[in-house]
Chain A
Amino acid sequence: MGGRYLARKMLQAIITIAFIVLLNFLLFRLMPGSPDRVLARNLPLDVRQVLLERWGLDRPVFPDQFVAYVGATLQGDLGDSFKFQGVSVVDVLAGRIWPTLLLFGLGEVLAIIIGLGLGAYSGWKRGGPVDYVGNGISLILYSMPYFVIGMILLMVLSGGLGWFPTSGMLEMGATYSSFVDQLLDFLAHLALPLTTVAIGLIGQYSILMRASIIETLGEDYVTTARAKGLTEGYILRRHALPNAMLPAVTLVAINLGYVIAGAITVELVFGWPGLGTLTVEALNSRDYPVLQGVFLLLSISVVLANFAADLLYGFLDPRVRS
């Protein structure tokens, strides 16, 4: 891969992350719970002055406070949670990151396989029964907030039929005789949220892939391949699919930002103890340091995912490297 392409993409990612840190700092100064505002309440002036000095809040916002903030952020110090007194934001986040990563990692993988496959097939057999039904269902799913899918699944499969537990990641207070038991309980809890995430994403991915494959099938090189007498299956596999995958890679990465919005609500519906429920808890108790930590973590993850997609794109498509 071209070194200049790599360097340019890396520079872009670094600049974006720098912007995010700056924005986070500005929000920190703006927010109602900013340190000096909290201090301004109910404290004698002299005590307040001492505290301001200790925390460096008597120094100018720029550059002194900004430098201190960036330094602390780089060292992984995001401050302490308001709600969980004495627990650092990093520790709060660390406790919640794995459930989310697991749920959405698996959900993405499922949705990419099924959604892209369905979309490619519908686009290839445009106007066929699979396309007709699939496209209709995809459009409806596309218009449906994730949490609505979750609420329906929860009501039918969990509340009504009682096949799955309603909430959480493991049965509350349960003791397990073996690791297998624990794993089974975990999988039972995972099933519905995972299905919700996958269904929500399949609609988007299949619409996207369908459009992409239809566009590709209209290209001149596909006509050439047909003129050469190649079979339809061969054209699809060797000519259309590889090229149709390109926009799909980018769009999956761009989509990640929206997926996070869905993630938060799905976790809320199923009481899944991940970053989404943490965000809503922090929102309700106005735990700003945790909210900012979530913002920093999620936005940097999205930037890095986009960077990875750019690299993948450069690897898949030699044209963009020049």
Chain B
Amino acid sequence: MTTASVAPANPRHERVRMQSTRDFAGRFARRPDAVIGLAILAVFSLLALVPSLLVGPLETATTASGSALAGPSAVHVLGTDDLGRDILNLTVHGTRISMLIGLLATLVTIVIGTSSGIIAGYVGGAVDSILMRITDFFLVLPTFVLALILAPIVLDLIGSDALVFGIRANLFVTVIVIGVTSWASTARIIRAQALSVRERMFVDRARVIGGSRAHIMRRHILPNVINLIVANTVLTFAGAVLTETTLAFVGLGDPFDPSWGQILNAAESRGAPGLGAWWFFAPPAACVVLVVLAFTLVGGALDDVLNPRARLRR
């Protein structure tokens, strides 16, 4: 979608668009769950953006500031881990890793899911059946187990110390693995909508005046499935954060770029729950729950507001 191809703004269209945006914002803002969710996400986005401003640089084994596994105190509000690192410091820095991996994995998921959904729905025929067979396969498959096998294989192939696009290999692999294994339900939803949009008059018109398939899919189908994509993206984000946490928890995280899941993994392998060291795992766990809950609330609210069928149900 280049700016050059955008038609000159028609003032009447512009007014309609403004009005519907205001309607949407109004309906969305009247829902307490959406507002609470957005507030939580705003706080965590801030933590992810400027962790060093808030708690100083990430502490490592050599720059650890406290004694090993000490409980909360005035200096270390949330105590320390087994290496003497401040848990508050680790958790705040973990926000960036967890949110970044969640965001990138969501993008990969949505791009794969949306494009295969639109292509399957619009092109139809053999392409549709092949794509949908693959989708069904990924829907049935326990994708987490597939992710567990794929991650070490890809990691061993590219080398765990490599940098890909400036991201450490461990994290990059997590992004790819989550993306490749979780796009199927998005593709299903988008395909269903694309099938119905394809039958509308304006698509016929675009075809008759000679619009190419790629053009029609990009300019006519995509804008009309975007409502579904928005709500789906937010819910996918929640799933991606959970999957990343779980993958890191079973040992596929990166100890040098600790995400929340990685801290939880460290707490578990040092036996923190058995020792009663709640401060070691409660903060990262609470963050995961809050973020996933916030995304679920916002996603649910978006789904209700944007999806007319869901609105009728209330």
Listed in ascending order, the chain A residues whose CB lies under 8 Å from chain B are 12, 15-16, 19-20, 23, 27, 30-32, 139-140, 142-145, 147-148, 151-152, 154-155, 158-160, 166-167, 214-215, 218, 254, 256-258, 260-261, 264-265, 268-269, 279-280, 283-284, 286, 288, 291-292, 294-295, 298-299, 302-303, 306
Rounded to whole angstroms, the CA-CA distance of A15 and B129 in the bound complex is 14
Binary A-proximity of B263-285 (CB < 8 A = 1, otherwise 0):
01001100011111010010001
Binary A-proximity of B143-186 (CB < 8 A = 1, otherwise 0):
11110111011001100000000000000000000000000000
CB<8 Å pairs between A and B, sample of 17 = A19-B137, A140-B289, A143-B288, A143-B289, A148-B285, A148-B289, A152-B273, A154-B274, A160-B276, A218-B313, A257-B143, A261-B142, A261-B145, A265-B246, A265-B249, A269-B273, A280-B251
B197 within 8 A of A: no
Listed in ascending order, the chain B residues whose CB lies under 8 Å from chain A are 133, 136-137, 139-146, 148-150, 152-153, 156-157, 238, 242-243, 245-246, 249-252, 264, 267-268, 272-276, 278, 281, 285, 288-290, 292-293, 296-297, 313
In the complex the two chains form, is A306's CB within 8 Å of B140's CB?
yes
Which A residues are CB-close (under 8 A) to B268? 147, 151, 268-269
User: Which of B250, B274, B285, B292 sits near A159, CB closer than 8 Å?
Assistant: B274
What is the chain A residue whose CB lies nearest that of B155?
A32
Rounded to whole angstroms, the CA-CA distance of A294 and B144 in the bound complex is 12
Which B residues are CB-close (under 8 A) to A20? 141
User: Which of A27, A32, A167, A215 sits near B156, CB closer than 8 Å?
Assistant: A32
- Known contacts: A139-B296, A218-B313, A261-B246. The answer to whether A295 contacts B273 by CB under 8 A is no
User: Which of A32, A151, A261, A298 sits near B281, CB closer than 8 Å?
Assistant: A151
In the complex the two chains form, is B152's CB within 8 Å of A286's CB?
yes
Q: How far is the CB of A160 from chain B (nearest CB, A)?
A: 6
Q: How far is the CB of A255 from chain B (nearest CB, A)?
A: 11
Rounded to whole angstroms, the CA-CA distance of A173 and B281 in the bound complex is 31
- Known contacts: A143-B292, A143-B296, A160-B276. The answer to whether A257 contacts B140 by CB under 8 A is yes
Interface of A is mostly: helix
In the complex the two chains form, is B136's CB within 8 Å of A283's CB?
no
- Known contacts: A16-B136, A140-B289, A260-B142. The answer to whether A279 contacts B273 by CB under 8 A is no
Rounded to whole angstroms, the CA-CA distance of A16 and B140 in the bound complex is 8
- Known contacts: A139-B293, A269-B268. The answer to whether A159 contacts B275 by CB under 8 A is yes
In the complex the two chains form, is A154's CB within 8 Å of B273's CB?
yes
Rounded to whole angstroms, the CA-CA distance of A223 and B95 in the bound complex is 49
What is the chain B residue whose CB lies nearest that of A147?
B249
Kindly name the residue among A12, A159, A280, A306 whose own CB sees the greatest number of chain B CB atoms within 10 A: A159
Which A residues are CB-close (under 8 A) to B274? 154-155, 158-159, 166-167
In the complex the two chains form, is A142's CB within 8 Å of B296's CB?
yes
Q: How far is the CB of A161 from chain B (nearest CB, A)?
A: 11
Rounded to whole angstroms, the CA-CA distance of A280 and B272 in the bound complex is 19
Which B residues are CB-close (under 8 A) to A306? 140
In the complex the two chains form, is A257's CB within 8 Å of B251's CB?
no
- Known contacts: A139-B296, A283-B250. The answer to whether A256 contacts B142 by CB under 8 A is yes
Which B residues are CB-close (under 8 A) to A160? 276
Rounded to whole angstroms, the CA-CA distance of A269 and B275 in the bound complex is 13
Rounded to whole angstroms, the CA-CA distance of A154 and B252 in the bound complex is 23
